[in-house]
Each structure stands twice: as structure tokens, then as C-alpha cells.
Chain A
């Protein structure tokens, strides 16, 4: 799979390393050069410095023939905008977006975006670890 990742924070870097090891073709974008230090030294993918909501940099990262796109910057809105650009303008088949805010996540789920909220996932896992139960869904 050819994948473009936006954001080389802890999650982005870990994700990029995992995908690279699994044999996928990875391009990762971040606006700071320092961020790429988080990558595994054996990382074989491509790194690009730039602003991920700028179409030019997405094109340079190969988004036109990407199979997948992941937005994992620390800004919900940036992730949301970049994901929608990937989906609506570049028609990338698989787009996954990290959104911390649970309410924003539910709105964008309704709009058809694939999202992951570490807030909810993290809280659920803590709940299970503490109580041994799964949390009940809100009515």
C-alpha cells in the first residue's frame, strides 16, 4: 500500500515505522524537521517538511496515487481539513482521521469520515482496566 501520513508526532512516527516494517510505501509530512527524529533509524520511507493542508505538499508526497491517508497531527481541525482534502479532492480510497474531541468526532462520522478518537478509546480502555467491565453506551 502507498500511504501518506500527516503529522510525525509520537503516533505518526510509530505508525510510520509500523507500516514501513510491514512493507508499505510510506510518505510522512510534518512542518518541523525535528519531528522526524522520532522515526526509527531504519525507516525506509520518505519525509517531507510542510503544511499538510497545502495541496502542493500533499501532491509532492504522492497523494495522487496513494491508497491511504492518515491525519495524526495534534490539531483536530487540521486533521479534519486535511482528511477532507484527501477524500474529496484527491479521492483517496482509505482516509482515517484522528479527532480528540468526541463531539466533533460524532459530527464528522455522520459526514462520512473514518475517525478515531484517542479520548474515547483511551477512556474505554482505562474503564476496562479499572473495573474489568466494558463501559455502557450512552442512551
Chain B
């Protein structure tokens, strides 16, 4: 695949290295001279000095044969324009944008950006999962399928502690995929009992999340 990345900060740099090591053709665009010099020492031909929102630059690096354009600058507006230009002007099939402000997710989606990745939201989820006492955490969202992966810690006073899965009123759009108990893992079936202090991993649709919370008797 030919992948063009806009923004030579840490994310762009590590992404480039990682994709190159997987055998893809990668072109990193960095507009700052000093940063470019540092990058080109290690990345050589894989980095070009230029602004990924400038059509001329994108033409020079062959944007119309790119399979993916990824915008990872530190500014949401630059990432937006890079992706829109790539799609509209160069017919790039897939555009991925980094979103620094999670509130901008809606406008990016409305304007046809295929995928947005919000570091803030990801970090938030990871930290929440580490906080003591949290019972319900969204680990990851599978955007294309509209599903979420949830981690639920069953508190001792939970109404479902001691019940088998078949007796709990789980929503149809949800699935308990895995239970971790005392460092052992269990792939549950209908007869599996849920015990207090279990870590339950569930796959559920966005709308099913509330129904699942009710069924498991947990609030955040």
C-alpha cells in the first residue's frame, strides 16, 4: 500500500517507522525545516519537506496513487483540510485524521473523513480503567461494526453475583465474551456463573450499552 502521512511529530514519525517495517510504501510530509532535517537523517527518502494541505505538494508526492492519507498534525483544522483535499482533489480512498479535541468528532464525520482517532479519548479510557472502584469502562470502540468492548468489574454487592448467565436479562445486542477470575480466563456459556470480583468483558452495540448496565446492575 502507498500511504501518505501529514505531520512529522512523534505520532507521524513512529507511524512511519512502523508502517515501513510492515513493508508498506510510506511518505511522510513535514513542513518545518528543523524537524524535517532531523527526520530525514533517519528516514531518508521516506520524508519530504512540505505541507500536506498544499495541493502542489500532494501532487508532487503522487497523492492520486495513495491508498491512504493519514493526518496527524497537532492542529485539528490542518488535519481536516489535509483529509478533505486528499479525498476531494486526489480521490484517495481512505482518510484517517487525528483529532486533538474530541468535540470535533461530529464535524469530521459529517464532512466525510473516514476515521478519526482521538488520543484524548483513548488515554481517558485507559486511565479510567486503572482507577480503583470503577466498575464499567469502555475499552475500545469498533467503529465500523458500531460495537464497543467493555470491561466490567463485578462488585461484591452486585445483583448478578452468583447468578448464571442464562438467568441474567442480557440484551440481545450484547455478548459476554470473556470472564477473568483470579488470573484465570473463562470463555463463558449460558451455565457459567458470574461471581463477585469477576472481570467481565462484553461486546455490545452502542445502543445496547445502557441495557447491559441495567442488566448487570452497575452504575459508573
Contacts and interface: CB of A to CB of B under 8 A. Distances in A.
Interface of A: 53-55, 75-78, 80-82, 84-85, 88-89, 101, 103-104, 107, 110-111
B101 A54 contact: yes
Interface of B: 53-56, 75-78, 80-81, 84-85, 88-89, 101, 103-104, 106-107, 110-111
B76 A81 contact: yes
Given A54-B101, A88-B110, A110-B88, A103 B56 contact: yes
Contact of B55 (A53, A77, A104): A104
A78 B77 contact: yes
Contacts of B56: 103
Contacts of A78: 77
B95 to A, nearest CB: 14
| A-B interface, 8 closest residue pairs, ranked by CB to CB distance from nearest | A81-B77, A77-B77, A103-B55, A77-B81, A78-B77, A88-B110, A77-B78, A81-B80
A31 B54 CA distance: 25
Given A54-B103, A103-B55, A80 B110 contact: no
A74 B13 CA distance: 28
A84 B80 CA distance: 10
16 contacts: A53-B104, A75-B77, A76-B81, A77-B78, A77-B81, A80-B77, A80-B80, A80-B84, A81-B107, A89-B106, A101-B54, A104-B53, A107-B55, A110-B88, A111-B84, A111-B88
A107 B77 contact: no
